[in-house]
Amino acid sequence: MRILLLFAFSFFLPLFAFCEELTLHGRVVDAETGEPLPYVNIRVGKSIGTLTNIEGSFKLLTDENDVLSFSFVGYERLSLKADQMPDVIRLKPYTVKMKEVTVLPLDKEDILKRVIENLRSDYKTGSKWTRKYFFRALMEQDSVSYIAEAFMEAFSVMNVRSAQIISGLQGYDKESGKKPMFIHASNIHQLIEVAPRTNNSSFWKPLVKPLSHYETLKGFYKVKMQTLYGEEGQALLRFDFTWSKDLLPMDYNRRNITGTAYVDAETCRLLRFDGSCNNCTVRMGIMSSPISIDFHLEYDYSQDVASVSNIAIQGSNDFMSYRVLLFAIEENKQEGTVIKASKENIVTALQEAGYDASLWDEYDIIKRTKEEEAAAFGK
């Protein structure tokens, strides 16, 4: 009997080993420069995994036989088996030249018109689709750090809007010995509605945006186009939008978005936009002050419609600095009922939503930096 049990145990042992879980820690860098790559998408099979943080680092719980896919628009996709993953993952950037590729003439005006039309069509098709996100905001004022984390549901085609907080937590760096920041009247959470084309966003509506309408684009921007190639010859179009110097003073000082768009050359669909919001203000308490805002935004097309995959935002002025991160944790779904946004006061909205620890256990949260960890738990 003992021999039989020993045989049975030895038979099932490989199955137990197959299911062994690993907590992976790593960093993703540019293969040419060695610079860390923030906001790289990491997927496990077809499921959503995690995102590298601002330092290019990540943490992910997975099985040793899982295959991880690393993707970042403008870089070669890389797949690695979990138990063979190095501490540093190097992604190769696309190049401006590709050997043995026939470069066809591309009409810049026609491509931009198609990009804008695709965005307009996607919004018309999926304007009532919703998506669930993980949200994190870190703010610093007078050497006091404040952090807010939340799970939220929002409408998401082209730009995030009407966000409703499901569960959240907040904290501040108690080790500083100073009082918490007063952010009850802050509009920090409205920043996640930013995009090169927006709909139903009162905060971003006044800004001139490069991909809203082609006539607006021609009137306010100078555009430069460049073709990038992957190792297998796939083409990516890069468009740089700069604010025209030929504008009258009243137009030159208007609030606007400039930046760089990455577009799929075959489908003319927008994949990524790295932008700056110029001449903007942010509210903190009863005071509004000028601020510089930079953002990174990526779209995916898993439902064949442009949907915000992740957003990273940074800003600062003489009084405060902040960074905001938004990451999709589920695919789109068509919402049968209208989502009502949480209160404009994000602090009150977090308090009313409460904290459900199971959500933090269920999803792989983006790895906190030491600064974020200190604000969250005073460590």
CATH code for the domain of 84:
2.60.40.1120
Q: What is the pLDDT of residue 275?
A: 97
Q: How far apart are CA 269 and CA 263, in angstroms?
A: 6
Residues 77 and 159 in one domain: no
Tokens representing residue 208 in the block: 């001139």
Q: Do the domain assignments include residue 231?
A: yes
Q: What is the pLDDT of residue 110?
A: 94
pTM equals 0.89
The number of folded domains in the chain is 2
The 3-state secondary structure of 263-295 reads: EECCCCCEEEEEEEEEEEEEEECCEEEEEEEEE
Residues 313 and 240 in one domain: yes
Q: Do the domain assignments include residue 288?
A: yes
Residues 70 and 119 in one domain: no
Q: Do the domain assignments include residue 127?
A: yes
Chunked into runs of 10 residues, the chain (379 residues) has average pLDDT values of 42 48 91 97 86 95 91 96 94 80 68 96 91 90 82 92 88 62 64 93 91 94 94 92 89 91 96 93 63 92 92 87 92 72 71 86 87 71
Residues 60 and 149 in one domain: no
The amino acid sitting at 327 is F
Q: Do the domain assignments include residue 273?
A: yes
| Cβ neighbours of residue 47 closer than 8 Å, sequence gap 6 or more | none
Q: Tell me the Cα Rg of the chain.
A: 23
Pairing type for strands 321-328 and 78-81 reads unpaired
Q: Do the domain assignments include residue 303?
A: yes
Q: How far apart are CA 308 and CA 213, in angstroms?
A: 20
Tokens representing residue 42 in the block: 């990491």
Residues 62 and 208 in one domain: no
Residues 66 and 166 in one domain: no
Residues 176 and 273 in one domain: yes
Residues 77 and 119 in one domain: no
Q: What is the pLDDT of residue 98?
A: 60
Residues 342 and 198 in one domain: yes
Residues 239 and 117 in one domain: yes
Q: Do the domain assignments include residue 180?
A: yes
Alpha helix stretches (DSSP H) within the chain: 2-18, 108-126, 214-220, 249-252, 346-353, 357-362, 370-377
Residues 114 and 228 in one domain: yes
Residue 23 structural domain: 11-91
Tokens representing residue 108 in the block: 């810049």
Q: What is the pLDDT of residue 117?
A: 97
Q: What is the pLDDT of residue 69?
A: 95
Residues 68 and 117 in one domain: no
- Cα angle, residue 354 at apex, residues 351 and 360 outer, rounded to 5°: 125
